[in-house]
Structure 1
Amino acid sequence: MSAFDTLGRRARAGLTQTIGVLLGAGAAIGLTRIGVGPQISTSSVATVLIGLGGAVFGTLAVIFSLLFLVVQWVATTFTPRLTLFRDAPIVWRTAAVAMSVIVFCITAILASGSRDTISACVPLVAVVGTLVVLVLLRVVLANALAATQISPVLTTICEHGQQSIVATYPTSDNLDPKPRIDPADEPRSIQWSRNPLVLQRLHVERLIHLAESADAVIVMEQAVGSTLRASATLAHVHGPAAQSNGENASGKIDNGAFFAALDTGPERTFDGDPLLAFRLIADIALRAMSPAINDPATAVQAVDQIEFLLVSAMSIDESARRWRDSGGRLRLVVPRPSWTDMLVVGLDDVIAASLGSPMMLARLDAALTHVSTVATSVEQRTQLARRRAWVAQARADRFPSLDQ
């Protein structure tokens, strides 16, 4: 994993735009100093650069207008927790290219000074940059349109959810099968003492390094995606670090360094949070089934995706994930949501909201029946049977003719 990947989304967006601005300024200064090759009147080039810069600035305005409109549409139509378009890399990359072209045009005008002529490369690069911005803008517009349509939104959420499941529950996991923690240890607790935030991501390498330096084992008590509330226990530290007292005690894990290895924020992300996809799709189904919307067909589409994700996660290893250091010693234990957690988040609220819809009850019964046929454990079949009985009872009570 590169250093760029370890940055947060907002940090990556800001860094990309900063790099774009610096590249635009540097390219303008370098190209205006070229004294060989075709030369063009500086006044003519300045007029072209001003026009292109203004056009690209208008592109930036369109991008931010789309952000406001699409985010508002998605929040009111689907769910306020859906941030796919806002966080899409193409949006802030297009903004970065547009800013680079604007800075290039301004810097080129200023760098040309009192020269009578300037290299033809300057307007050529400005034109090419503007064309690139227009191509990217077309992609942004296509993404904005897709972000307002139910089918592309559900498909994208499902794809992100499947990727998160694969990343959280790898099929070829050669890590420690069982933790080797001395039960006689008196672990030290690390508690959350800040404002409520969501645990978005763990920097595993940093946590392993902290545990290795202290010759300890860090057992996380909060899974990625959990809301960290005041006095919540984040982790237990087993080993010498748990027995160390004092600020400068050898082997003590510093709370500040531990918190620095966690990414937190106000919103959940798909990184390491397989339950988020279930939550978002369930939210869309719940809103579709609300009396104000009353759109069971959309809820049926949402159940299609939930069913697919449940089947995809059927064979996951629900035990906590464990990492070793380079010497093979256990250093980090991280809990993971169970398959039952996915079932509860994905379907329970939807079933409760669909008891008055024959279309949804029929679709839910079909989904639960299909998932039951591929269930791999007794616990999974038991949980599915309970919900099938719930749906069947609702159909028998409210719509007895459906079973005739």
Structure 2
Amino acid sequence: MDWNRWYSLKSYLRSSLWTVPLIAIAIYAAVKPVAEMVGRWMTRQGSLDAKTSLLGLSMTGARSLLGDIVSADLAFLVFTFGSLLVAIQVAGGQYTPRIIATTLLRDNVIRSISGIFVFTLLFANRTAGWMGENEVLQLQVFIAALFGFTSVVAFLFLIDYAAKFLRPVSLVARVGEQGIAVIESVYPAPSAGVIIAPERDTERGAPERIVRQRGKSGIVLAVNLERLVAKARRADVVIEFVPQVGDFVAVDEPLFYLYGNSDAIDDNRLRTLVAFGTERTMEQDPMFAFRILVDIALKALSAAINDPTTAVLAIDQLHRLLRMVGRRSLRVEEIEDSSGRVRVILRTPNWEDFVHISFREIRQYGASSIQIARRLRAAIENLIQSLPEHRHDALRVELALIDRAIAKNHPFPEDLALARIPDSQGLGGSAVSTTSNYQLAPSEASRAQIDNGHR
């Protein structure tokens, strides 16, 4: 199987709820004959007769117990999947549809508990069907009872887990954790200061050959960089991947630019190193975590929901991710081989891209909220304090835009003064603005407004 097909299949299985129950069916198929064989052997040895049975159940009691287990697990399964469908609708409508495939359907706790229900249901039903009129399968009944008790405990745990899992703070925190993991994998090196990008067009000129997309259109999910570097090294070429991970690529659009001995590269083999899908994933797309958090904040700030506190929770995670990104080296476009020669060129988001997606839309939709304005200011000022100097310019621009936006949206001096105070809680905490310490050089009018507000 080609790498792109394997990656797409793996991504699909990770976001599919039915995979763990299917595995549970396979485990049941393997455990059932073993349990029956061991049970018959122990019965022949006389260690599982009616008097010394593990549960001491008669035929009537065993059948009643197994029937209760089957009924309970069937009810648990119906309730679990029914509740999950409702949760998907609520999460998609209140937060963002992009939270479904990336968080809800990939939760291993929910999938594992559903697998326990399926295994217990099948095992108990099979045990009840195999018992004769006078033979109680003591070992199988004991195993079914054990898993039945486990199912009850798992169901009670699932109710508590789902109630906590669907809270806004839990969802945005999970997206933040996934974003941190992606940032660490895509940008492993710490920031080394300002790096001037080379003039690629002057160095390499026009590409000798263009490899275009064939087959179906789709969104770039991931690229196998190791194999690209190896292929470029063997052919002694430079391969430039034209789109960015997360971009939509239509049929016949450029996919690769080849510089050098391009005839040694097979187009079809090159295309197999790019995985496409219908929806973005986080595996190699650090910007997608920012996109999900911003969408949650925008939905919370909409007139239909009007929940700025949830937007503040999303800003908390955006602040956390920006602190991580700001300390990383974002210059990973040129990938070298072991000899130090550039072999692959891959576009990735720069610092300004991360800053823009984190603040611009939230400011546009939430500038009228004092809570949002204060939380954004607190995040930006903290980033200016904690990040290297070469990250400050983009942040200063955002801070100046916030000043202009709140001056436009708050005509009352008292509201304007309150909105200019940074607050990590949005509204409710206490903080003193340190804007003047950063020498932001705003206009004279803006400086006067800030001073008046701080007094």
**Greater CA drift, 355-364 or 55-64:** 355-364
**Cα displacement string for residues 329-381 of structure 1 (whole angstroms, at most 9, x for unaligned residues):** 76544332112111111111111112322332233223222222233243x32
CA contact (8 A) 1:29 1:108 kept: no
Identity, in percent, stands at: 22
2:104 is paired with a residue whose SS is coil
> Which structure has more helix as a fraction of its residues?
2
**Cα displacement string for residues 28-79 of structure 1 (whole angstroms, at most 9, x for unaligned residues):** 1222123223146777645543432332222221221121111111111111
TM-score, with length taken from structure 2:
0.74
Which one of the candidate residues 48, 72, 89 is aligned to 1:38? 48
2:252 pairs with 1:231: yes
2:140 pairs with 1:122: yes
Is the alpha carbon distance of 1:29 and 1:230 closer, same or farther for their aligned partners in structure 2, counting shifts above 3 Å?
same
Which one of the candidate residues 361, 375, 393 is aligned to 1:382? 393
Q: Which runs of 5+ in 2 are unaligned?
A: 51-57, 418-451
Shift of 1:324: 6.0
CA contact (8 A) 1:52 1:127 kept: yes
CA contact (8 A) 1:198 1:227 kept: yes
**Greater CA drift, 389-398 or 115-124:** 115-124
> Which residue of 2 is the match for residue 252 of structure 1?
265
CA contact (8 A) 2:290 2:318 kept: yes
2:214 pairs with 1:202: no
Which one of the candidate residues 351, 361, 374 is aligned to 1:339? 351
**Cα displacement string for residues 302-343 of structure 1 (whole angstroms, at most 9, x for unaligned residues):** 222222221121122112356566787765443321121111
> Which residue of 2 is the match for residue 166 of structure 1?
184
**Greater CA drift, 14-23 or 154-163:** 14-23
2:74 pairs with 1:74: no
1:218 is paired with a residue whose SS is strand
Shift of 1:274: 1.3
Mapped partners of 2:87, 2:165: distance in 1: 7
Is the alpha carbon distance of 1:272 and 1:396 closer, same or farther for their aligned partners in structure 2, counting shifts above 3 Å?
same
1:393 is paired with a residue whose SS is helix
Mapped partners of 1:202, 1:49: distance in 2: 51
Which one of the candidate residues 399, 405, 408 is aligned to 1:394? 405
> Which residue of 1 is the match for residue 124 of structure 2?
105
Shift of 1:217: 4.3
2:35 pairs with 1:23: no
Which one of the candidate residues 39, 49, 52 is aligned to 2:66? 49
Is the alpha carbon distance of 1:61 and 1:353 closer, same or farther for their aligned partners in structure 2, counting shifts above 3 Å?
same
Mapped partners of 1:194, 1:161: distance in 2: 31
Give the number of equivalent residue pairs. 386
TM-score, with length taken from structure 1:
0.82
> Which residue of 2 is the match for residue 310 of structure 1?
322
Mapped partners of 2:49, 2:10: distance in 1: 44
CA contact (8 A) 1:70 1:147 kept: no
**Cα displacement string for residues 154-194 of structure 1 (whole angstroms, at most 9, x for unaligned residues):** 22222221121111111379xxx999x98268443332345
Shift of 1:152: 1.6
Is the alpha carbon distance of 1:187 and 1:137 closer, same or farther for their aligned partners in structure 2, counting shifts above 3 Å?
farther
Mapped partners of 2:346, 2:183: distance in 1: 15
